[in-house]
Every structure is written in C-alpha cells, then in structure tokens.
Structure 1
Amino acid sequence: MTVHLTNPQSRAHALQCVRCGRRHPFAPLRHLCDCGAEGAVLDVVYDWHGLRREDLDRCARQDMWRYRALLPIGPDAILPEISVGATPLSPNAGLARQIGVGAVLIKDEGRQPSGSLKDRASAIAVTHAREAGYRTIATASTGNAAAALACLAANAGLHAVVYVPETTPAEKLLSIRAYGAEVVTVAGSYDMAFAACLHAAQERGWYLRSTAINPLMTEGKKTAAYEICEQLAWRAPETVFVGVGDGSIIGGLHKGFSDLLALGWIGSMPRIFGVQVAGSNFLYRAWGQKIPLDQVERRSASSIADSLQAELPQDRFKALDAVTRTAGAYVEVSDDQVLDAMRLMARCGYLVEPAAAAACAGAIRAREQDLLGPRSEAVIVSTGNGLKDISSLRRMIAMPYAPK
C-alpha cells in the first residue's frame, strides 16, 4: 500500500484542536491533537479568501460535490460515481399543526443511496482513502455509518470492514453484507465496537472512517446544512432539530451553518436543538445540569433508537458547542415518544427509523416546554429511512393509537 501524505491543495489549511485551540498544518491523515486532553479531536480550518457563492455554479455535479470548493478535497481526487446529497427540504403543514408551530420543514436524508445522512461522511472517506492509496477502509457503527461505508466503498472499489455491536438491527446487517463489506460483530456496546475498530485499524494499517477520530467526517456531514440554507434561498432556518448519539451529525450541521455565516452567505445562525433519548442522554445531562463533559457520569446506553446509543459520545465537545453557541437546547424524549413520532411522521408520508423520529419527538417536546413559539419555523433533520429497522416499525404499528 502506498500512502500519500501531500496536501490536497484545497482551501483547507489547518487542523485546530477543539480542546487546546492549537493549530496544526492540514494533513488529511492526522486524527488527534497531541496535547493529551480527553476528546482532543480536530476541526478543519479553511481560507475562504476570494470565494464567492457564484463559484458553486462552476461545478458540474449537483449533489454534495456542488460544494467541493468548501470541502477538503484536492483538485485531482476521484469522486464517487454514485450521487450523494441533494436531498429534499419539504414543508409539511400536517406536522406543523400537530406540533403547534408556524412551519415544519423536513430534510429527508432517508433518500440517500444507503438510506441515511451518514452517506455524506462516507463519500468524503472513500474519496480520501483512494487519494491516499488505501485499499481497505474501516469504521465502527451502530448500523447506519457501516451501511453507508459499505455502500460507498463498494461503489469506489474499496474493501470495507465494519465493527458493529451485537444489538445492530438485522435489516442493517443484511444491507451491509449485501454491499460486500466484512462485518465484525462485537459482543458489547457501540463504545466497545469503536475501541476494537480503532485498535484493528492502527494494527493493520487501514484507513479509519470512524467519526470523531477522523476530522474529515464532519466536513461531509456539514453539507446537509449547506443544502438547507441554499434550499431556503440562502437564509438560515429559525430552528433545527436533530437526534444526537455520538454527536457527529449535530457537530457537522453546526460547522456547516458556521461556514456560511463566516462567508457572509447567510445573515444569522439557527438555534440548534439536540434530541437525546432517555436511555442515552449523556449530553442532555451535561447541558441541563451544566456539568463539565469530563465530569459527566457514564451510563450504559439502551434505546429503541439504536443509532442514538452512546455511553460516551465521541464527538461530545463539538456536539455541546452546537447547542450552546447557537442558543439552542438539548431535549430528552422517551422511547414511547419516539414511536409516537414515527407514527406521526408516517401519517404525514415519511417512513423513518427511530433515530430520525427522535428529531420530530424533540420538536414536540420543545413546544410543550415553550422552547418553541406558536409561530416558530422548525427544520427536522430526518436522518434515516424506516425500512432500516423493521422491528421498530412493528412495535410502532402495534401501539394503541389515539389520533389528535
């Protein structure tokens, strides 16, 4: 294997530690700061000088690669052939009435190639892996990131190895194996799968896609925020709701909105609401009780929303910043509230998995707590397709239904 460590000649010029603030020269294979602090993950810093919004129109592709000028991608990188991104942002008057707000818009990431927002990060991962000369790429996942990697790696001709906890839904495992990925099932939690994957990748010289270790994964996920603002004629929405487990998606959304504000392409930041399930609420407890992240008690994670299970969110510092720096909030919901939201969204035409429904449940809870006004605009980031978890759909259908 030949690994190239050259700068990809993009606008990315530094990597900044989220803990100590130290900047390192941009290197696409650098993962963590050497300051030794817990959670010392890196964030990509760009030079936006001279970049104009009109420059986006020069890109021939209309998927996430439309924003290539805002990504850490070299000019000679071979992009995946399969289209990722360009998902719809659609108003839904029925949901707005049910929640009790002025407007609801659904960002439907269930339409991605593998059925989840995680395809955006995996598209960046396989592009960089090929650019650096890797043939094998690995990740730890509760299911969606693994399916996304398996899909994009298959399209790119790379071998994917995925580490998943034993609780991963069977439907996700079927799709992962169908794409041809090697599956390693870990008898334990996601956190244990993460540790096993990290060790194996370091020992065997694989490209590591796992979010919060690889800072470039945030860059893929931030493109959802770019699309939301462009779909709103280059303005930021009032509020954004998204389910939070490991913290990578909410951190990516915050990064995307922050980029556009720094560029002057939007005039304000949205309030970002992170939604956690009661059985996996590390960040909700940290935010609500104002506990420093390194002092929050670790608890075993369990929820119907498998994608939101994390005892210790790996991207917790970015995830907390996303809420505190935008005057947002963390909201906690129960599994039953998630199932109710799944049914509500289905009755409005959206078949979603529990982690996606959690965002809707969070908007309902925020309205009940007067964190949203009756005229508020809420974007619900629906992160995954409902067919990824048939057993949860069965549970949802079997629940007593009392229409409002």
Structure 2
Amino acid sequence: MKNVLYGKCVKCGKTYPTTPDLTTCTCGGILDIVYDYDAIRREFTKETLAARSERTMWRYRELLPVEETTAPTPLRVGWSPLYEESRLAEQLGLGRLWVKDDGQNPTASLKDRASAMAVAKAREAGAQVIACSSTGNAASSLAGNAAAAGLETFIFVPSRAPKGKVAQLMTFGATVISVEGSYEETFELSKAAIDRWGWYNRNAAINPYLSEGKKTVALEIMEQLNWQVPDYIAISVGDGCTIAGLWKGLKDLHAIGFIDRLPRLISAQAAGCCPLNRAIETGEPWHPMEENTLADSIAVGVPRNADKALMAIRESNGLTVNVSDEEILEAQKLLGRTCGVFGEPAGVTGTAGVKKLCQQGVLGKEDTVVSVVTGNGLKDVANAIRACGEPITIPSDMGRLLEAFHQKGIPLE
C-alpha cells in the first residue's frame, strides 16, 4: 500500500505495520490509519477523479488502505444519492439541506462500506471466514458482501435484533448466533469466538480498516457538492465508528487540498442510550448506559470506538443532540412525506437531531446542513407502521369507502 504509512494508536501513539489482519494496540487503543498525503497529492487530483467512470466507493482508491492489486468487491457499494431538499429546509427553517440516502447500498445501510473493506482485507489476508457482532446492520452488510465474494460468515446479534435484519442474514447464508443479552454481551462472545477459531475480525472497533471504508460517505458528499463544504453534517451515533469514519474522510480531503475548510459535525443519539453525547455535554469520561431505545442500530450502551468518536466531535467543534424515540419516529415520517426517503429509526436519528436543533434555535436560515440517512426503513417495518399507522381496511364497497374517508377527515370534491 504505497500511500499508507502505518497504523497509529489513538491512545499511546505506538505505530504498527499495516498488515491485513491489523487489530488494536497492545495498550487496548484502536488504531488510526495514517497516509502519505504528499504522495497522494502528487498523483490524485480532482481532475483525475472526475474522469473516472466507476461510481462506487472504490473510485477513491488512493485514499483507501488496500493493495493496488486488490480487486473491488463484487457488490456495488457507495455512490448513494445526495438530494437537495428545499421544501424540508424551508419547513425546518434552514438555509439549505441535503439528505444523503445511504439506505440505497446493496444490503440497505451505510455499513456496506465497512463490510466491503472487510472483505477486501480478508482476501488480502487469505481468510475464508469473517465474523462480527452487530445490532443488525453491520451483520447483514457483512453477510451479503461476504456471500458475494464466496466467504463464510459467523454473525452474533442480540436477540432483540429486528426480524428484517435477521432475515437478511439467513438469506445470505450466514451462521447466525442470536445472543440472549445486551450488545456488550454479544460483542464479548463474538470476540472470544474469533480469538478461539482465528476468523477474520470485522468488528469495527477492533479492525481499524473499517472506518476507512465508512469514511467514503464523506468523500462522496464532498464530491457530490462539488467540493463546497456545508456548515454541518449530521449523523446518528451508536458505537462511534461511523462518525469517526466520517471525520477521517473530511480530514483526508482537507489534507490533500480538495476542500478548504472542515464542517462541524452533529452527533445525534437516542436519548435512551447516549453515552458519547453525555460525555461531551458533561465534560466527564463516558459511562455505560442502558440500551433503552427502539433505534436498535445505535442502541450501544458500551461504545467500542469512543475515543475516535469523541475526538471527532471535539475536533470539529461539533454539536450533540439527544432525541426521544417519539422524535425519531416523527423524523421517519417527516422524511418520507417531504423527501420520499424511507429510513429506519437509527437511520433517521441524524435528521431528528437536525429538526430538534432547528426548534431550539441552534440552527437557522444562515446554515447549510447535510443529514446522512444510514439505513433503509424496510429493515424495521414494525416501527415504520408504529410511526405512520395502519392502512384503511374496508370491504369492496363505495359506501364504506366514503364513510372511511369521512372518519379520516379526507376532503373530497
């Protein structure tokens, strides 16, 4: 990897050669992948990028920790749409608003970016089996991307994982272990199993390459905005890996001169499980919390990538916002009805946070915001129905139809 220098511990600063199976530092800290920005600047320009026809995350290879000979993974991951939503911006009282719909990735979540990277690095390591723990999306993304590459997967999920996500896992042929316990207990069991059988580790807080896959969402946003930096980028936060990857991508672009400033991040967490935001707001170290939210993908009471996530929020002079489950469901409905974007509860938490900050007067008409929707609503249809209600159900009778319209208050000519 000619553009990669080493992996560096975010806690103690120790450096490591970037072998394909790189994990954490001996002190327990997670590693950051450090690049040779001078070399990248010499060969990677906006013009060379614009000339590329490939519309996947692999169009940014110079900024990714893969060998030149490593083939792109089989599924089309990345280059999800970025919509400017002027009606919603006006409704919220924002200057401009864009929605990045990452639920349009192959397995319907942003986590495909990390899993594609895991598959690429597993191939480099010569591994045939990949494993992880997950609240759902990382699991289904790994199972799908690995299946397409012919690799076997072992997936550990908490028993509360929505059926839609478990159905994906089973369809992709993963060996699924549903753990009767919290995400923390699920993670510990997966870690013990990975250590025992030597499987390739896809856990994002252990494997430093996975944030490098996630950071491609930032690279895409900036390219899709023609390198014009918004004031804020909002994203839902659970384990901390995604916001850390988002910030890394932005810093990479700034380091090579593709953007002239950095946006502020908005870290949106569920009020029932917000250990990282609480640490920022109190100025104290983070402490575990109960996983008390319907937004299962961000229900992480013991965040495994806290160091990088907290660093990202602080370095960006970011904002934190905690939203209730009711506010999350309202945002799900709002995005659907104003933008035609169907996000799962965790996926729309960033937008719920933006809405709340607008209501509080923190954001307003002078601000430009990108909100990332990290997962598709079909992942969790039960909560979508809870947010929007049941359909009108009647016999095939015009009289009953008119009566139902009247009861619903639907105006008719």
Give the alignment's TM-score, normalised by structure 1. 0.93
Q: Which runs of 4+ in 1 moved over 4 A?
A: 57-60
Instruction: Specify the alignment match of 2:403 in structure 1.
Output: none
Quote the Cα distance in structure 1 between the aligned partners of 2:362 and 2:205: 29
Q: Deviations over 1:373-397 (max 9, x none)?
A: 3221110100000000011111101
Quote the Cα distance in structure 1 between the aligned partners of 2:44 and 2:137: 34
Preserved CA contact (<8 Å) 1:78 1:131: no
Among 332, 337, 350, the residue aligned to 1:342: 332
Instruction: Name the SS of the counterpart of 1:347 in structure 2.
Output: helix
- What does residue range 302-381 of structure 1 map to in structure 2 within 5 Å? 302-348=292-338, 349-381=340-372
Shift of 1:300: 1.5
Bigger Rg, which one: 2
Shift of 1:368: 2.4
Quote the Cα distance in structure 1 between the aligned partners of 2:389 and 2:79: 34
Instruction: Specify the alignment match of 2:58 in structure 1.
Output: 65
Residue type of the partner of 1:11? N
Instruction: Specify the alignment match of 1:94 in structure 2.
Output: 87
Quote the Cα distance in structure 2 between the aligned partners of 1:231 and 1:57: 11
- What does residue range 15-54 of structure 1 map to in structure 2 within 5 Å? 15-34=7-26, 36-37=27-28, 40-48=29-37, 49=39, 50-53=42-45, 54=47
- Note the residue ranges of structure 2 that are not aligned, 5 or more in a row: 391-407
Quote the Cα distance in structure 1 between the aligned partners of 2:274 and 2:43: 40
Preserved CA contact (<8 Å) 1:222 1:255: yes
Residue type of the partner of 2:137? N
Matched, 1:75 2:64: no
Instruction: Specify the alignment match of 2:388 in structure 1.
Output: 397
Between 95-104 and 155-164, the greater mean CA deviation after superposition: 95-104
- Note the residue ranges of structure 1 that are not aligned, 5 or more in a row: 1-8
Q: Deviations over 1:277-330 (max 9, x none)?
A: 0111101110000112xxx33222121100011111111111111111111111
Among 119, 123, 126, the residue aligned to 1:133: 126
Among 288, 306, 325, the residue aligned to 1:298: 288
Preserved CA contact (<8 Å) 1:10 1:73: no
Give the alignment's TM-score, normalised by structure 2. 0.91
Shift of 1:189: 1.0
Residue type of the partner of 1:241? A
Instruction: Specify the alignment match of 1:112 in structure 2.
Output: 105
Preserved CA contact (<8 Å) 2:44 2:62: no
Quote the Cα distance in structure 2 between the aligned partners of 1:266 and 1:57: 15
Matched, 1:251 2:238: no
Preserved CA contact (<8 Å) 2:74 2:145: no
Matched, 1:192 2:185: yes
Q: Deviations over 1:171-190 (max 9, x none)?
A: 11001110111101111111
Residue type of the partner of 1:361? A
Instruction: Name the SS of the counterpart of 1:16 in structure 2.
Output: strand
Instruction: Specify the alignment match of 1:287 in structure 2.
Output: 280
Preserved CA contact (<8 Å) 1:78 1:130: no
Shift of 1:199: 0.9
Preserved CA contact (<8 Å) 2:347 2:375: yes
